[in-house]
């Protein structure tokens, strides 16, 4: 077996091996309940020693060095502190009874942690969207100026994808089953022997251990391991979350370049060792960097699942011990970094307004044409005059590097006298944002708040808010 204990934190090691002991206890309780000769003393000793002491870790390390088998080293160590149970610990089971079932427990708990963190991020961005629901900003398609939107509406695009990620993570957690007690090749032969050929008791054992371990169901059939396709299903929503995070962080990086929105920047923070004026979006860059790693890790799960020979092979083990923790740790830091960014986004309305003023005259031409027609003008003639003036203004901007003076040219042209008093109204940015503010309101009310209206998520959001206030 691969020994990665050296690289685990003491808390992680305690968690893993305590879960192993709980699984052995659950197996013993179920076997006793179904008639196997296991004493009450054995059960009580196991219950009293679910957590390992530093001395027990030392014993386990020595045993593993001698036996070259991590599970058997811990069976021996557990038996030393629960001597009445030494003869029945791991009875009928194979190593994957503890390793795989424990992994499924960890996957479920890890998904829960990410679900709660994601809910906090969605909550923070929702507050941002609500705050800037009606602040006009230049929209971009192909990163070229397009019709106006609002800062809040753009944020809802981020939130919607995060809601889908929340749905996917919750589905992944709900779908997780338990390996249960299946034996060395999944046939339950050892347990059938223990119960003298009683198939019903073997089925009851599987169901009882599953229930004791907190799962609603066990996978109906397995090999020695649970199917590594489960890892694919777990890492897929994490990879998808990585894509969402990368998109959000990239948008923020582009907005930082435009000087419209910036991520938090500390008063003593240095953006460049040589260029003291720089305010690099380092948090968003970090998100993009880690998100790419998160997306790639899914490929490992795909490849590992595809090369499992028959009832199992061991070339999955070392890979999974790296890939699964890395995926969850990476997703965690991506979410926490995005939360940090969302809680300190700085919006520059005047910069946004200036950019709108540079592009809006061109976008307003259709409104101007329609206004002339309403005053009795000819559409084709109005269109031609606007076309000529627009090209002249475009020359000023593109060839001479000057400001867009289209509106000044329109004001100077007597043809447009009938609507000159209406120009300011026709150029009001809020008249170009359509239903963006109402879309924000409707989206938050109908989709976001309902998605977060869950006891688990509300508790996480409240707890995070309280921590922020205390800080």
Query: Which residues carry out catalysis?
Result: 142, 272
Gyration radius of the chain over CA positions: 31
Long-range contacts, 310-315 (Cβ 8 Å, 24+) = 310/223, 311/185, 311/186, 311/223, 311/224, 312/96, 312/223, 312/224, 312/225
Work out the burial of residue 54: count CB atoms within 10 Å of its CB; fewer than 13 is exposed, 13-18 middle, 19 or more buried.
Answer: exposed
Interstrand relation of 346-347 and 261-262 (parallel, antiparallel or unpaired): antiparallel
Hey, what are 433's tokens?
């944002």
CB 146 within 8 A of CB 347: no
Give CA–CA dist 332/109, Å, rounded. Answer: 13
Give CA–CA dist 406/119, Å, rounded. Answer: 47
The SS3 call for residue 323 is helix
410 DSSP β-pair partners: none
Helix axes 365-374, 379-398, angle to 10 degrees: 150
The SS3 call for residue 149 is strand
Question: What residues contact 341, with CB distance under 8 A and at least 6 apart?
Answer: 249, 252, 263, 264, 283, 284, 287
Q: Which of 370, 387, 377 is nearest to 425 (CA)?
A: 370
Q: Which of 436, 444, 439, 427 is nearest to 123 (CA)?
A: 444
Distance of CA 98 to the CA centre of its chain: 28
């Amino acid at each position: 077996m691969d020994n990665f204990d050296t690289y685990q934190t003491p808390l992680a090691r305690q968690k893993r091996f305590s879960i192993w002991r709980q699984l052995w206890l659950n197996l013993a309780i179920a076997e006793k309940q179904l008639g196997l000769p296991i004493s009450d003393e054995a059960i009580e000793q196991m219950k009293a020693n679910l957590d390992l002491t530093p001395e027990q870790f030392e014993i386990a390390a020595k045993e593993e060095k001698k036996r070259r088998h991590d599970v058997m080293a811990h069976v021996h160590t557990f038996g030393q502190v629960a001597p009445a149970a030494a003869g029945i610990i791991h009875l009928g089971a194979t190593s994957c009874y503890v390793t795989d079932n424990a992994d499924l427990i960890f996957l479920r708990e890890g998904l829960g942690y990410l679900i709660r963190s994601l809910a906090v991020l969605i909550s923070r961005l929702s507050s941002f969207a609500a705050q800037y629901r009606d602040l006009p900003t230049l929209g971009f398609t192909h990163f070229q100026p397009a019709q106006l939107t609002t800062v809040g509406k753009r944020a809802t695009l981020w939130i919607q994808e995060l809601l889908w990620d929340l749905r996917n993570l919750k589905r992944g957690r709900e779908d997780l089953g338990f390996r249960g007690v299946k034996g060395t090749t999944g046939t339950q032969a050892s347990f059938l022997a223990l119960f003298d050929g009683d198939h019903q008791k073997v089925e009851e054992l599987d169901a009882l251990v599953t229930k004791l371990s907190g799962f609603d169901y066990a996978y109906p059939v397995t090999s020695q391991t649970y199917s590594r396709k489960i890892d694919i299903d777990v890492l897929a929503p994490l990879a998808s979350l990585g894509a969402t995070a990368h998109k959000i962080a990239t948008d923020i990086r582009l907005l930082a370049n435009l000087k419209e929105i910036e991520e938090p920047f500390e008063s003593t923070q240095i953006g460049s060792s040589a260029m003291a004026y720089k305010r690099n979006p380092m948090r968003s860059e970090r998100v993009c960097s880690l998100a790419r790693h998160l997306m790639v890790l899914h490929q490992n799960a795909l490849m590992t699942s595809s090369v499992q020979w028959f009832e199992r092979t061991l070339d999955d083990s070392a890979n999974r011990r790296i890939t699964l923790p890395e995926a969850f740790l990476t997703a965690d830091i991506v979410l926490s970094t995005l939360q940090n960014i969302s809680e300190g986004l700085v919006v520059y309305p005047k910069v946004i307004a200036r950019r709108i003023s540079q592009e809006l005259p061109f976008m307003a031409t259709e409104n101007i044409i329609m206004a002339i027609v309403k005053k009795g003008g000819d559409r084709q003639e109005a269109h031609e005059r606007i076309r000529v003036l627009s090209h002249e203004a475009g020359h000023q901007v593109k060839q001479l590097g000057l400001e867009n003076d289209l509106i000044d040219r329109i004001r100077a042209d007597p043809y447009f006298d009938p609507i000159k008093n209406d120009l300011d109204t026709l150029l009001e940015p809020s008249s170009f944002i359509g239903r963006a503010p109402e879309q924000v309101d409707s989206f938050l009310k109908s989709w976001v708040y309902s998605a977060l209206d869950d006891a688990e998520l509300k508790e996480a959001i409240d707890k995070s808010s309280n921590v922020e206030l205390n800080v």
